[in-house]
Amino acid sequence: MAAINRDDVAHLARLAHIEMSAEELDRMAGELAVIVDSVKSVSEAAGDDVPATSHPIPLSNVFREDVVGHTFTAEQALSGAPDSFEGRFKVPAILDED
């Protein structure tokens, strides 16, 4: 498997919406390279015949009655919002204008 480099980290940081300074990218790339190297043996541990486990205790068909339960008022839902307007979350421009 390929090692993780600074360009990868810059790309991943953009995907994850985390702004990073040049210094931070340098440091993070070094740290992540060590971590990725230490976990790579995992890919050799299991053969193709081993099924994946996504959930530790298998449960299936967890349903409930389709009735309206507790809901928050708009005021409660907006109580922690950094900005709101007329009962809605207010955000800066969604589309880049340039």
Tell me which residues touch other proteins (CB under 8 A): 1, 4, 8-9, 12-20, 28, 31-32, 34-36, 38-43, 45-46, 50-57, 59, 62, 64, 72, 76-77, 79-83, 89, 91-98
Interatomic CA distance for residues 13 and 25, integer angstroms: 9
Question: How far does CA 10 lie from the centroid of its chain?
Answer: 16
Rg (CA), the chain: 22
The nearest distance, CB 76 to other proteins, in angstroms, is 4
The nearest distance, CB 5 to other proteins, in angstroms, is 11
